[in-house]
Structure 1
């Protein structure tokens, strides 16, 4: 059985084609019996190994390994950057919520202080209210006297 294996490229993808590809898939999917193993042994011993094809395959495998290592390195760097950004956002959020809590506490304290001062002012204004009512009474009495005099 003649096997023709031709490497090819499509952009950055390297492809290897074997004529009996479907047959190889079928044989790999079922258990190997004694008859099959004998036919495989005789087939592999009768067909020579294509050294050039193995060298090409090794070269492409090495290139793939280098590309994969670069990809993993870039992915690792990008994940580190994303993690650093996430940590920065978390710290900023933490600082903002802490500052907001402090500002809310300060606002509550200021409000209680304002209420206390308002109550003190209201208490200190009680004599003014009494004087005001006395002045009203004096005005009423003066108005009555003026009305009688005229």
Structure 2
């Protein structure tokens, strides 16, 4: 019997159900503004509704006796219990405990339906896919995690075997060469850091010397400017003293000019008198 089942062809069986529910997209981990910015109108405090369409797909061997992967009547009952009874005409956030702390996005609704169906199915490994049509344009598909799919595990194992066959064995000498080059690179890096440290120290010393020279030049310049200012004030004081001592000189100059004028008059008179004496 097991050999017959092993050789049986695989088939996918899908059944569709619809349900109506309302919800509000709101994360307790976000602020009111962040929720509004992220979810927009879907964050309306009064909520909003959808007419969801759910497609549940089972994958398994076709039973050679019944000709079915699973009895559709049984699948209908399982979906009624896991989907309709749990979600239809419900407020997802208020009526379904699962969404008390989980955002009721369509993605999370798909995961909820998946987990609920696993509890209902006698053979959960048959569950292949849950597809939810939130609207005609928004569709979410959830598959089994890779660890739960035997075919995926087999593919991964086969791929690993192919890679192992294609990859050559590691040459120990190559690892030794890599280690040697790594040590040489580390030594070069140490030397570079040491040289850089010495250069930075020299630059720091040069900077200190430059600052000291600048301070000295500024001090000398300030001393020179101060001396020039003092000399200027001394010169101004001397000029003022000289200006105060000049009036007597000016008066003496006037007297000299007056004496000169008198001498010129006297000379003129003498010359005139001499001329008269000659005529006599």
The answer to whether the superposition gives a TM-score over 0.5 is yes
CA distance in 2, matches of 1:69, 1:82: 20
Q: Within 5 Å, which residues of 2 pair with 1:114-129?
A: 114-129=235-250
Match of 2:210 among 84, 89, 95: 89
User: Equivalent residue for 2:252?
Assistant: 131
CA distance in 2, matches of 1:67, 1:133: 96
Q: Within 5 Å, which residues of 2 pair with 1:22-41?
A: 39-40=159-160
| Higher CA-based Rg | 2
1:89-135 CA distances to partner (integer Å, 9 max, x unpaired)?
A: 11111210121012101101110111101110221222122111101
Unmatched segments (≥5 aa) in structure 1: 1-32
Matched, 1:141 2:256: no
Shift of 1:71: 0.6
Matched, 1:106 2:230: no
State the Cα RMSD in Å: 2.4
Which of the two has greater helix per residue?
A: 1
CA distance in 1, matches of 2:238, 2:161: 103
Secondary structure of the residue that 2:174 maps to in structure 1? helix
Secondary structure of the residue that 1:125 maps to in structure 2? helix
Which TM-score applies when normalising by structure 2?
A: 0.39
Whose relative contact order is higher, 1 or 2, with alpha carbons under 8 Å and at least 6 apart?
A: 2
User: Equivalent residue for 2:163?
Assistant: 43
Which TM-score applies when normalising by structure 1?
A: 0.70
CA distance in 1, matches of 2:182, 2:226: 65
Shift of 1:47: 3.6
Match of 2:186 among 65, 86, 93: 65
User: Equivalent residue for 1:26?
Assistant: none
Which of the two has greater strand per residue?
A: 2
C-alpha change, 1:123 and 1:44, in structure 2 (3 Å) is farther
Unmatched segments (≥5 aa) in structure 2: 1-151, 272-280
C-alpha change, 1:41 and 1:80, in structure 2 (3 Å) is farther
User: Equivalent residue for 1:55?
Assistant: 176
CA distance in 1, matches of 2:265, 2:233: 47
User: Equivalent residue for 2:196?
Assistant: 75
CA distance in 2, matches of 1:61, 1:86: 37
